[in-house]
Amino acid sequence: MSLTFSLLGTSGRARRGRLHTAHGTAETPAFMPVGTAAAIKALASDQVRATGAEVVLANTYHLMLRPGAARIARLGGLHRFMDWPGPILTDSGGFQVFSLAQLREIDERGVTFRSHIDGAKEDLTPERAVALQRELDATITMVLDECTTWPVEEAEAAASMRRSMRWAERSKAAFAARPGYGLFGIVQGSVWRDLREESAAALTRIGFEGYAVGGLAVGEGTARMVAAAGYATACLPADRPRYFMGIGRPEDIVAAVALGADMFDCVVPTRSGRTGQAFTRRGTVNMRNARHRDDPRPIDADCACPACRTYGRAYIHHLVRSEEILGLTLLSLHNVHYYQDLMRDIRVAIEADRYDDFQRDFAAQQALGDIEPV
């Protein structure tokens, strides 16, 4: 049997579920830390596991270029390679082709591009994207899609989406089913309701173990993003997991869960940590600011991560300003921990059928801001 999903409860459109895979279960809604090159930046795998994360994401584009999917396969697959025994989702590489690669040429067959690393010419087709992810031993494989840019005209978005749907059908044909593994389709269509609905209907006809909503958080703004995500989600099967790709600000996750989203990923927690920013229950804090230099408080008094249990803001501030690597590690660890705490609290609220209350409380607490010591 392929990867499966159990819907355990709802609160409005918010869903509480569980993902069953060959590499264990994962509670949803879930946030997946991003390990682009088979590593969550600044953190070891055991540190990531200790935050409560159950699924991580790695990227096919980066791994096919370096060190190569075949090499990872010879070394026992991605789980052994990066010491992550739990489920791993691999992005097909489509977004990175369109955001990083040079001299792209797109046609019905796929994409030809030059590597951003050394300029070498590469081809990526739906079939090759699936084969690469099989070599990596991804628990969840993503279809190859064309990530529509923003701004974009509706006619261009329609043509791009329909090409992605044809690629999705080829990806499905190329995917070899295995017990506990699955293939996710990706809804495209930019900000237009009819295109999102058409895309969701096409993917549902093809049939996948899960469905992603892609092509958002690319500059279209929060209002358009939430509306487009809502159009897509309303048309997707209720018995399959729904993955909102690349949506990663806490307030956006809280809003997307209310639309029925189950899975999220983003580089925001670790990228913010590497720039001195910490997420807290009262909003984002910049640890580079001088006001922290004599502050003995933890980053977040309600957080049980190692950074908050052991160190005060003054020390974290000193590390960041001194450009000590430990500072970036502690902040990244704290942020990933904060995101996992947020997802746990979301799951508890859905189980209690009080997600509307949770949303209001979350917004009110974030609006308080970081309070200075008296």
Q: Give pLDDT tens digits for 341-356.
A: 999 999 999 999 999 9
Domain for residue 147, yes or no?
Answer: yes
Residues 290 and 256 in one domain: no
- Domain termination residue (choose one: 241, 266, 291): 266
- Domain termination residue (choose one: 266, 300, 320): 266
Residues 230 and 362 in one domain: no
Domain for residue 176, yes or no?
Answer: yes
Residues 242 and 288 in one domain: no
To the nearest 10 degrees (0 to 180), the angle between helices 154-174 and 193-206 is 10
* Torsion region of 271: left, alpha or beta (phi above 0 gives left; psi -120 to 50 gives alpha): alpha
> Does residue 91 have a pLDDT over 70?
yes
Residues 68 and 127 in one domain: yes
Other beta carbons within 10 Å of 89: 27
Give the mean pLDDT of the chain.
95
Domain for residue 114, yes or no?
Answer: no
Active site residue 341: no
Which one of the listed residues 262, 265, 295, 341 is annotated catalytic?
A: 265
Domain for residue 21, yes or no?
Answer: yes
Residues 261 and 350 in one domain: no
Residues 61 and 190 in one domain: yes
Residues 182 and 316 in one domain: no
Domain for residue 98, yes or no?
Answer: no
Residues 225 and 356 in one domain: no
Residues 59 and 166 in one domain: yes
The pLDDT assigned to 218 comes to 87
Overall domain count for the chain: 2
Active site residue 265: yes
101 confidence band (pLDDT: 50, 70, 90): low
Pick from 230, 232, 220, 115: nearest CA to 164 = 232
Q: How far is CA 169 from the centre of its chain?
A: 23
Q: Which domain holds residue 300?
A: 273-368
Q: What is the mean pLDDT of residues 193-198?
A: 98
Residues 215 and 281 in one domain: no
Which helix (H) or strand (E) is 122 found in, with range? strand 121-124
Q: What is the CATH number of the domain that holds 84?
A: 3.20.20.105
> Does residue 4 have a pLDDT over 90?
yes
